[in-house]
Amino acid sequence: MADKVVLAYSGGLDTSVAVKWLKEKYNLDVIALNVNVGSERDLAAVRQKALDIGAVKALVEDARELFVNYFIFPALQADALYEGQYPLATALARPLMAKLLVGTAIKEGASAVAHGCTGKGNDQVRFDVSVAALAPDLKIIAPAREWGMTREETIKYAQKHNIPIPITVSSPYSIDANLWGRSIECGVLEDPWVEPPADVFSWTRSPVDAPDKPGYVEIGFEQGIPVSLDGKKMDGVSLIQRLNELAGEHGVGRIDHVENRLVGIKSREIYEAPAATVLLQTHQALEAMTLSKEQLRFKQKVAIEYADLIYNGLWFSSLHQDLAAYVESTQSYVTGTVRLKLFKGSCQVVGRKSPKSLYSHGLATYDKGDQFDQSASAGFIHIWGLPLKTQAQVQGVTEPKKTKGKGK
């Protein structure tokens, strides 16, 4: 009996060809595993296709809830945004897929797992590193990294073996999509000077064609987790789906990013992430109101580290475990509601409230009811400015070169 391999199967060209190739090249029986993280494909058809091509078994796993609760929401609580732009949709799904691949391999007695990543991207790293951490003895095969075929040759191989070629192959783009966003690269997008053509987008309306009237939405958070939309309680998956529609309709969530890949190259990627854009912005607005200045400052540093480790494939690392504990601890009072205005591609926070707000009207107001003791400021400023005054007296006034001698 042939050894078995569990292949992360999307139904696309590369993973379809991989089903045949793994048998031909390594004589492995292929178990195709499709992990549903919200790609919105016809999963029954995907499953059947794997079997038609020759997989001995084809499994579909609905992982949307796992994805939202254990990957997306913790990343949201951390405010993870790679290089300040990319909400990490693709990157977040990989460690989950790796985990399910490993679980299936153990259950099915397979000696290897396989994925369809090329040798140029970040995703191969995320899969390989995650699998190695979870099951060090499992073999990892990356057919598209090994076979050395161009896209044309891959299509020829598919034709030769009667593998149906997906309609998406006629699209010049490489696309990956899940609940947290859609990633689009290749084709004309490889020229960073070229504005993304209209056919790149499918989740967001062009801001030009978006409604002329602004849309408002209220998002309720409990301990940093979004739990309601316009006052209605919603589970995470439905809330994200609904927000993708709502914000997408207003043209919100288009991102054009020249990013630094882990493998040392810069690449230009377009993202559509309406729900992620809205949730990251509203979550931060609520944090601004419920965390102290020092917590906010420190948390911003953690957010950069957190985003980097997700991007770089280090989900199953001790550093992640440590940072996650910190992030969770910061979220105790991040509870409340944020009101957002969506209009022609922009989204703006226009209101926020929280039972644990640190904003005190009595302290902030310039009207009557002011509780701030203004007379105390003089003493505070005296002490605050003391080192500056002393240094200026002893060493002279220091100021940046450019302004020196000006204004006298």
Q: Would you please indicate which residues are annotated as catalytic (active-site) residues? A: 14, 94, 123, 174
255 interacts with ligand ARG by CB under 6 A:
no
What one-letter code names the amino acid at 70? Y
What one-letter code names the amino acid at 51? L
Q: Which of 14, 269, 272, 287 binds ligand ARG (CB under 6 A)?
A: 269
175 interacts with ligand ARG by CB under 6 A:
yes
Residue 180: which of 236, 130, 124 has the closest Cα? 236
Residue 112 tokens read as 């290897």
Alpha helices per DSSP H over 27-138:
43-53, 64-67, 73-77, 89-108, 123-134
Q: What is the DSSP letter of 356?
A: T
> Coil, helix or strand for 355?
coil
130 interacts with ligand ARG by CB under 6 A:
no
Among the listed ranges 164-172, 182-190, 298-306, 377-385, the one in contact with ligand ARG (CB under 6 A) is: 182-190
Q: Which of 15, 34, 77, 90 binds ligand ARG (CB under 6 A)?
A: 90
Q: Which of 63, 68, 76, 91 binds ligand ARG (CB under 6 A)?
A: 91
CA max distance for the chain:
90
Report in angstroms how near the CB of residue 123 gets to ligand ARG at its nearest: 6
CA distances (Å), origin 74, targets 32, 35, 125, 326, 332: 29, 20, 21, 11, 13
184 interacts with ligand ARG by CB under 6 A:
yes
Residue with Cβ nearer ligand ARG (34 or 90): 90
Report in angstroms how near the CB of residue 80 gets to ligand ARG at its nearest: 12
Residue with Cβ nearer ligand ARG (74 or 87): 87
Q: Which of 29, 61, 108, 185 binds ligand ARG (CB under 6 A)?
A: 185
By CB atoms closer than 10 A (0-12, 13-18, 19+), residue 147 is middle
Q: Which of 15, 16, 174, 331 binds ligand ARG (CB under 6 A)?
A: 174
122 interacts with ligand ARG by CB under 6 A:
yes
Q: Which of 14, 79, 176, 287 binds ligand ARG (CB under 6 A)?
A: 176
How many alpha carbons lie under 13 Å from residue 41 in its C-beta half-sphere?
26
Number of residues that bind ligand ARG (CB under 6 A): 11
Report in angstroms how near the CB of residue 257 gets to ligand ARG at its nearest: 8
By CB atoms closer than 10 A (0-12, 13-18, 19+), residue 43 is middle
What are the residues binding ligand ARG (CB under 6 A)?
Answer: 90-91, 122-123, 174-176, 183-185, 269
